[in-house]
Amino acid sequence: MPYIPLEDHLPGITGLLEYSKETAAPIRELTQILLRGPSTLTEGERELIATVVSHRNQCTFCTTAHTAAANILLGEEETSARVKQDIITAPVSEKMKALLTIAAQVQQGGKNVTTASVQKAKEAGATDIEIHDTVLIAALFCLYNRYVDGLATVTPTDPAFYKGLGERLKNNGYNRLPQGYEHLKK
Amino acid sequence: MAHIQVEENIPGIRSLVLFRPETGKPLYDLAQVLLRGPSSLSEAERELIAAYVSYRNECIFCMSSHAAAARCLYGPDKNLVDEVLHDMQQSGVSDKLKALLHIAGKVQVLGREVTPEDIAAARVLGADDREIHDTVLIAAAFSMFNRYVDGLASFTPTDLAVYEAMGERMAKGYVLPASPEPK
């Protein structure tokens, strides 16, 4: 049970974003720009960064939700599974391996990012903006994962829930739904 | 030197938001609403939570600047800031704030570290839902800000006077910098 009263029909992050709409607005805006805004990284690649960081922060809700979003965007399920297992042998480009490695270092702590790993990303063709966005996406999910688990929000166990959420993240992105969330009440 | 090409000599997060103002705007908006928006926790207490988490994340830039802002906001009680950063449990802040700082410290490690007992202890001392929410979110947000600032190796000034001036500016609120400061 969550540590504060959240709406029953809104598990995970959504209940928190509805509980505190003033703080939710900039968090949603930041996420929309980083994961859905113009970028030379695909939406699927950016969801993989979110997935890897959430997985390493042991946040089941965020990991499952962003895995679902990545799978829908990539059109397959192997890549998200493999990057969680081992970045280096996963079926992604050398550039993505280097960026995911940086994201994993950010998850540990900002100071863990090494000049060598940044150099490797640059040699694999990563631009400064891509490196910037990778670090900020990884840092943002260190926020989300702590927010979601730190207040003990509900983590659904039904895979159908995450499939629906993944679809919503693909079709609507991270902006608050214009009609709100009342329609999700059963 | 920073990992990406940001303006030299601009410290910490300012250099990063000038590099990418699109993401800088919601980051500053978040800091403003969390640390200066309506709350039953004082601005000084919220800055103290930010400084405490940054200290635990060993982010010198965020720790020094938010400690300076907290000292500024605490005014005559500014020694509380250094007491908390030295030894939180032995400091002179209220027991309620200690319980909230304890929760913030758990969040700094990982969300799942926070236990029902930690929450119950804060409630017994008078913390309400909103204060618990805000504490967790401030701690989570600084787990982001600290990683952003250090993950890109932004410039961390070593001159304490720089932070004192920064703290005075921050005490007034968080506004996205429009252009590089004059040298």
Report the Cα A92 to chain-centroid distance in Å: 17
Tens digit of each residue's pLDDT (9 = 90 or more) over B99-113 = 999 999 999 999 999
Chain A residues with CB inside 8 Å of B33's CB? 22-23, 25-26
Cβ A147–B140 below 8 Å, yes or no? yes
Do the Cβ atoms of A69 and A154 come closer than 8 Å? no
pLDDT beneath 50: ranges in chain A: none
Question: For position A186, what pLDDT does the model report?
Answer: 72
Domains and CATH numbers, chain A: 29-174 (1.20.1290.10)
Cβ B111–A3 below 8 Å, yes or no? no
Of A134, A54, A30, A33, the closest CA to residue B147 belongs to A134
Question: For position B178, what pLDDT does the model report?
Answer: 84
Read off the DSSP letter of residue A87.
T
Chain B residues with CB inside 8 Å of A27's CB? 26, 30
Do the Cβ atoms of A132 and B4 come closer than 8 Å? yes
Chain B residues with CB inside 8 Å of A136's CB? 20, 23, 148
Chain B residues with CB inside 8 Å of A56's CB? none
- pLDDT tops 80 at residue B183: no
Average of per-residue pLDDT values in chain A: 97
Helices B95-109 and A128-150, packing angle to 10 deg: 130
Q: What are the domain boundaries of chain B?
A: 12-171
Chain B residues with CB inside 8 Å of A34's CB? 23
Q: A71-80, A175-184, B81-90, B171-180: lowest mean pLDDT where?
A: B171-180
Tens digit of each residue's pLDDT (9 = 90 or more) over B122-145 = 999 999 999 999 999 999 999 999
User: Domain B12-171 is of which CATH architecture?
Assistant: Up-down Bundle (1.20)
| Residues 104-163 (A) with a CB less than 8 A from some CB of B | 105-106, 109-111, 113, 115, 118, 128-129, 131-133, 135-136, 138-140, 142-152
Do the Cβ atoms of A153 and A13 come closer than 8 Å? yes
- Give the span between the Cα atoms of B1 and B157, in whole angstroms: 12
Cβ A110–B151 below 8 Å, yes or no? yes
B42 membership: H or E segment, kind and range = none
Query: A32: number of CA atoms within 13 Å, CB side?
Result: 16
Question: For position B54, what pLDDT does the model report?
Answer: 98
Do the Cβ atoms of B137 and A23 come closer than 8 Å? yes
Scanning the structure block, which residue is given the tokens 């962003």?
A66
The confidence band for B39, taking pLDDT boundaries of 50, 70 and 90, is: very high
Chain A residues with CB inside 8 Å of B36's CB? none
**ipTM exceeds 0.90:** yes
Q: Concatenated DSSP letters for A105-148?
A: HHHH-GGG--HHHHHHHHHTT--HHHHHHHHHHHHHHHHHHHHH
Would you call A154 helix, strand, or coil by DSSP?
Answer: coil
Chain A residues with CB inside 8 Å of B49's CB? none
Question: For position B180, what pLDDT does the model report?
Answer: 54
Would you call B28 helix, strand, or coil by DSSP?
Answer: helix
A41 touches chain B (CB under 8 A): no
A172 membership: H or E segment, kind and range = none
CB neighbourhood size of A96 (10 A): 24
* Residue in A26, A140, A152 nearest the CB of B29: A26
Q: What proportion of chain A, given as a percentage, has pLDDT over 70?
A: 100
- pLDDT tops 90 at residue B79: yes
Question: For position A185, what pLDDT does the model report?
Answer: 87
The confidence band for B8, taking pLDDT boundaries of 50, 70 and 90, is: confident
Would you call A143 helix, strand, or coil by DSSP?
Answer: helix
Question: For position B100, what pLDDT does the model report?
Answer: 98
Tens digit of each residue's pLDDT (9 = 90 or more) over B160-170 = 999 999 999 99
| Residues 123-162 (B) with a CB less than 8 A from some CB of A | 129, 132-133, 136-137, 139-141, 143-153
Mean pLDDT of B75-90: 98
Question: For position B179, what pLDDT does the model report?
Answer: 66
- pLDDT tops 90 at residue B114: yes
Residue type, B146: N
Cβ B151–A113 below 8 Å, yes or no? yes
Which residue of B4, B35, B147 is the best one to mutate when testing the A interface, meaning the one whose CB has the most A CBs within 10 A?
B147
